[in-house]
Amino acid sequence: MFEDWIYFLLPRIYCGLAFIVNPIFVHLIFTEKQAIFGNYRFLLLFFTTYNLTYSIANVIVSFDIHSYRYCFFLITRNGWFVQHSEFNFHIICACCSLVIASYAILLIHFIYRYLAIHNSDLTRHKFHFYMSFSIFICALYFGVWYAICYFLGRANREIREYIREGFRETYGKDSMDVSMLGSLFSEGSDETVFKSWLAVVLWLTIITVSTIMYVVLTITILMHLKKMTRNTSKKTSKFQVDLLRALVVQTVIPIFISFSPCLFFWVGPMFGIQLPRSLNYLEAAALGVFPFVDPMAIIMSLPVFRKRIFSFFRNPTTT
C-alpha cells in the first residue's frame, strides 16, 4: 500500500497541483504590465510548459531508483513501460533526458538575465534569435544525456544478471523481465565497468559545469547590479534584484530538493554502499515536486506577484 502511494498516487497528485499552479503563474505573468517583464514572459511560459510536460511524463513513467552492491539501477513502476523491451528502454532514456533538460532551462534563464541587465538587443528586438538559441541548448542537453543513457544501456543484460537475486528479494520479480537503466562499477566485465564509470563521470561533469555557470553568472549579475544603482532608479534596481532572487530560488529547488539525492545513488555503489530502501522512497517522492513548487516559490519571491495573490485572498470580489 505504501509503495502504491509513492509510485502511483503521489505522481498524480503532483501532476494535478502542477496543472493548478502553473496556469495561475502564466495568468499572473501575462496580465501584468508588459513593460515590467518584457519578453521574459515568453521564457517563463517556456518554463511552465516544461513543468507541465515533465509532470505528465512523471505520471506515465514513474521511476524507482535502487542500489545493490556495486550497482545502481533505475526502473519504471506501474504503467505501460515496465516490461523489458527496446522501445521501453528508449522511453526510460527519454524521460531521464527530460529531467536533465531542466538544467538547460535554468541556464538560458541565467543567460537572459545577464543579457537583460546589459541591455542586449537579443532580449528585445532580436528575441526570436534568443528563443531559437534556448531551444537549441535544451535539445543539446537532452540529446547528449540521451546518448549517454543509450550508451550505458548496452550493458543492461549483464547488470540484470548481477542484480537478479537481490531484485527478486526486493520486488518479487525477475530482473530479466523488467526494463531498466543501470550501472555496474565493480564485479563485472571490463567493458561494463568502463561504460558505467564513463557514463556517470559524464553525467557529473554536465551537472557540475552547469552549476558552476549558474554561480558565475549570478556573481557577475550581482556585480553589475551594484554598478547599475548609480545610474538607474532605486525601483528599477530593486526589481532586477527581485528577478535574480526568484531565479536563484527557481534553481535551488530542483537541484537541491529533487536532483541532489540522485548523487547518493550514483556515488554510493562506487564504494559498494547499498543505500536503505527508505532513501529510494524519498528520491521517488522528490523527483515530482519541483514542477509545482518552483512557480509557487517564484510567485512568493516577486513582490509584484505576491501582492496580487495576497490581495485576492483579502478581497477576492474586487481582484
What SS3 class is residue 63? strand
Q: Is the pLDDT of residue 111 over 90?
A: yes
Contacts of 101 (CB under 8 A, 6+ apart): 50, 138, 141, 142, 145
**% of the chain at pLDDT higher than 90:** 19
119 compared with 134, residue with greater pLDDT: 134
Per DSSP, the residues of 264-296 read HHHHGGGGT----HHHHHHHHHHTTTHHHHHHH
Q: Is the dihedral of CA 158, 159, 163, 168 positive or negative?
A: negative
Terminal-to-terminal C-alpha distance of the chain? 43
The predicted structure's pLDDT at residue 95: 87
pLDDT tens-digit profile of 166-200?
888 888 888 888 888 888 888 888 888 888 899 88
The predicted structure's pLDDT at residue 45: 92
The predicted structure's pLDDT at residue 174: 85
Q: Is the pLDDT of residue 107 over 80?
A: yes
Q: For residues 181 and 76, give the distance between their C-alpha atoms in angstroms, rounded to a whole number.
A: 10
Can you list the pairs that 138-145 forms with residues at least 24 positions away whose Cβ atoms lie under 8 Å? Answer: 138/101, 138/104, 138/105, 138/108, 140/104, 141/97, 141/100, 141/101, 141/103, 141/104, 141/206, 142/97, 142/98, 142/100, 142/101, 142/104, 143/97, 144/206, 145/96, 145/97, 145/100, 145/101, 145/203, 145/206
pLDDT tens-digit profile of 224-275?
888 776 666 677 777 788 888 888 888 888 887 767 777 777 788 888 777 7
The predicted structure's pLDDT at residue 109: 92
Q: Is the pLDDT of residue 136 over 90?
A: yes
The predicted structure's pLDDT at residue 258: 67
pTM of the model: 0.87
The predicted structure's pLDDT at residue 84: 84
Residue 240 grid cell: 532586477
Residue 217's pLDDT band, with cuts at 50, 70 and 90, is very high
Q: Is the pLDDT of residue 1 over 70?
A: no
Nearest by Cα to 111 from 187, 198, 206, 210: 210
Contact 247, 50 (CB under 8 A): no
Contact 43, 134 (CB under 8 A): yes
Angle CA 84–90–92, to nearest 5: 75
102 compared with 287, residue with greater pLDDT: 102
Per DSSP, the residues of 65-96 read EEEETTEEEEEEESSS--B--HHHHHHHHHHH
Q: Is the pLDDT of residue 153 over 80?
A: no
The predicted structure's pLDDT at residue 74: 85
The CATH class of 2-310 is mainly alpha
What SS3 class is residue 181? strand
In the beta sheet, which residues pair with residue 67? 72
DSSP structural state of residue 138: H
Q: For residues 141 and 149, give the distance between their C-alpha atoms in angstroms, rounded to a whole number.
A: 12
In the beta sheet, which residues pair with residue 63? 76
In the beta sheet, which residues pair with residue 68? 71
Q: For residues 112 and 106, give the distance between their C-alpha atoms in angstroms, rounded to a whole number.
A: 10
Q: For residues 245 and 113, give the distance between their C-alpha atoms in angstroms, rounded to a whole number.
A: 11
pLDDT tens-digit profile of 5-40?
777 788 888 899 999 999 999 998 988 887 778 888
Averaged pLDDT score across all residues of the chain: 84
Q: For residues 276 and 76, give the distance between their C-alpha atoms in angstroms, rounded to a whole number.
A: 19
Nearest by Cα to 280 from 77, 102, 93, 83: 77
